Structure 1
Amino acid sequence: MLPLILASIAALFLVAPILIVVPMSFSTAISFQFPPPAYWIGYYQKFFTSEEWLEPALNSVIIAGGAMAFTMLLVVPAAFGYVRYRFRGKALVNLLIMSPLIVPHVVSALAYYGFLGRAKLTGTYLGVIVAHGVLAVPVAFLVITATLKGFDRNLERAAMSSGAGPFRTFWYVTLPVLRPGMLVGALFAFLSSFNEAVVALFIAGRGATTLPKKMYESIRLESDPVIAVVSTLLVGAVVLGVLVPVVMRRRPIDAA
């Protein structure tokens, strides 16, 4: 009974902010007010028609897409090497790959600011993409290594014994089986970059302002209810990001 109570309390703490933010996004108040005095969709219209908000949103999509691609370029070869080969220092390699989860983002942001500043990449798309891509590595690595560990290598052996070369075996046998896990890893990398605010505050200039950075600046200078709209849309995106892997996992079962 106690575990159920504790789980319910934890769930309440997680859900409560959403139950407050969503109604506030439909509020008629000129600042944050809960409960709302009345409801309308005016702030949604403001978000979707204001260049002040649409430009950071587009920047976030571009940067998250680039970070996702950069993360996958790093993670896929690393995951294959980590799972399929034995070498000394494997535990240390795993620790280094997981380090972005351990190191506070403020510390990482300071390090990136110094490094990217020397390379003259602060305030650019490329600089933010590199920083966000590295931060997304641990989550994507965990997903893809888990997928690789569950892969039956007898399928590859059977294909190669039938005359298929390494490339054809990978393309027609390995990749189709691993594709769902790779897509999930890529999705998590995209969401990780899209929601990252701390690093963006340090290294994103005016030309590469992301949506989380814009939200922080707006809430610091004024209580614009559009922030509640953006928060609601981000929650919806995260929910979709969680549901997609669930649906993709159930598809093979349903097909069977």
Structure 2
Amino acid sequence: MNTMMRWFGVAVIVFIAAPLVIVVPMSFSTASSLQFPPPGYWLGYYADYFSDPSWLRPTWNSLFIATCVTLLTMALVVPATFALVRHKFWGKGIANLMMMMPMAVPHIVMAVGYYSVLGQWRLVHTHLGVILAHTCLSVPITFLVLSANLKGFDQTLERAARSLGASPIQTFIHVTLPILRPGLFISALFAFIQSFDETVVAIFISGRDAETLPRKMFDSIRQEADPVIAVISSLLFLVVLIALVAPHVARTVRRVIADRRVTPTISAE
């Protein structure tokens, strides 16, 4: 049974990693389109990406929009989560339902609605329009992550701080915030990824000036299958890999430094 589960796990890993085995070599290909196996290897398409404004502009747009969406989403979701988790009021069930609605409705339906509303506000093809639309899509997943952390929070810690004379603001800063910091970070990360990776709504809302990287990639692969798409995919994979490995490296470095500090002390004794 254990052997079968191991082989099943290996098969799942191979299935997940297979696209990377294809995409990464294609980013170094000399072919004029997406072709595997590559007929040759070079760094020309990497140079094209880092020197072509038609690719760099959508990249910076996506980073800017995703950052703004993260800040706006957290500013809205944090107080809303505290209200919905810790307080009882009329219409709480409806409020919970509305918070989760963007996750239940298909993105194509949401995109049509956003296009209609934002068109009346003259925000279509603007950065602000994309930010507002992406914020609505980021709220549900951010709310789910943060509410799960808040439901497991021991409120007796806050009561103890208040009983010792701490103000509500001091209690939040010194007690609540440190405990919820991992949940807040994960919530913000999901909001950023949701915005940066979103394509359907961006196709409807963003225009030439507010074009996002996923929309640019979609248009490129639909029209000419530009190999620069493989370059961007490889770079994004590299960023994710660094983000996963960096905490382990930092933890190892801290452990080594701590061991070096302890060893001389023991030797001196």
TM-score, normalising length: structure 2: 0.85
Q: Distance in 2 between matches of 1:102 and 1:9?
A: 31
In structure 2, stretches of 5+ residues that fail to align are: 259-269
- Give the letter aligned to residue 137 of structure 1: V
Pair 1:78–1:5, CA change in 2 (3 A)? farther
Q: Distance in 2 between matches of 1:92 and 1:243?
A: 41
Determine helix, strand or coil for the equivalent of 2:209. Answer: helix
- Give the letter aligned to residue 55 of structure 1: R
Q: 2:70 aligns with which of 54, 68, 71?
A: 68
- Superposition RMSD in Å: 2.3
Q: Distance in 1 between matches of 2:101 and 2:72?
A: 18
Q: Is the 8 A contact 1:187 1:241 kept in 2?
A: no
Residues 1:48 and 2:40 are matched in the alignment: no
Aligned to 2:164: 162
- Give the letter aligned to residue 129 of structure 2: G
Q: Distance in 2 between matches of 1:34 and 1:108?
A: 36
Q: Distance in 2 between matches of 1:60 and 1:211?
A: 6
**Could you list the per-position Cα deviations for residues 150-177 of structure 1 after superposition, in whole angstroms to 9, with x for gaps in the alignment?**
2221111111000111111111111121
Aligned to 1:98: 100
Pair 1:116–1:20, CA change in 2 (3 A)? same
Determine helix, strand or coil for the equivalent of 1:152. Answer: coil
**Could you list the per-position Cα deviations for residues 46-70 of structure 1 after superposition, in whole angstroms to 9, with x for gaps in the alignment?**
1111111111100000100111111
**Could you list the per-position Cα deviations for residues 182-215 of structure 1 after superposition, in whole angstroms to 9, with x for gaps in the alignment?**
1111111011100111111001011100001111
Q: Give 1:234 deviation, angstroms.
A: 2.4
**Could you list the per-position Cα deviations for residues 122-174 of structure 1 after superposition, in whole angstroms to 9, with x for gaps in the alignment?**
00100000001110111111111111122221111111000111111111111
Structure 2 counterparts to residues 10-49 of structure 1, below 5 A = 10-49=12-51
Q: Distance in 1 between matches of 2:111 and 2:209?
A: 18
- Give the letter aligned to residue 232 of structure 1: S
Pair 1:18–1:95, CA change in 2 (3 A)? farther
Q: Give 1:87 deviation, angstroms.
A: 3.4
- Give the letter aligned to residue 182 of structure 1: L
Pair 1:95–1:242, CA change in 2 (3 A)? farther
Q: Distance in 2 between matches of 1:13 and 1:235?
A: 16
Q: Give 1:14 deviation, angstroms.
A: 2.8
Determine helix, strand or coil for the equivalent of 1:235. Answer: helix
Residues 1:87 and 2:84 are matched in the alignment: no
Aligned to 1:215: 217
Q: Give 1:117 deviation, angstroms.
A: 0.3
Pair 1:8–1:92, CA change in 2 (3 A)? farther
**Could you list the per-position Cα deviations for residues 37-89 of structure 1 after superposition, in whole angstroms to 9, with x for gaps in the alignment?**
22222211111111111111000001001111111122111111121113355
**Structure with bigger gyration radius:** 2
Q: Distance in 2 between matches of 1:214 and 1:126?
A: 18
- Give the letter aligned to residue 219 of structure 2: E
- Give the letter aligned to residue 51 of structure 2: T
Determine helix, strand or coil for the equivalent of 1:208. Answer: coil
Determine helix, strand or coil for the equivalent of 1:28. Answer: coil
In structure 1, stretches of 5+ residues that fail to align are: none
Determine helix, strand or coil for the equivalent of 1:31. Answer: coil
Q: Give 1:30 deviation, angstroms.
A: 1.2
Higher mean displacement: 68-77 or 112-121: 68-77
Q: Is the 8 A contact 1:218 1:224 kept in 2?
A: yes
Pair 1:195–1:171, CA change in 2 (3 A)? same
Higher mean displacement: 235-244 or 84-93: 235-244
- What's the % identity of the aligned pairs? 54
Q: Give 1:92 deviation, angstroms.
A: 3.7
- Give the letter aligned to residue 208 of structure 1: A
Structure 2 counterparts to residues 1-256 of structure 1, below 5 A = 1=1, 9-239=11-241
Q: Is the 8 A contact 1:191 1:241 kept in 2?
A: no
Q: Distance in 2 between matches of 1:138 and 1:129?
A: 15
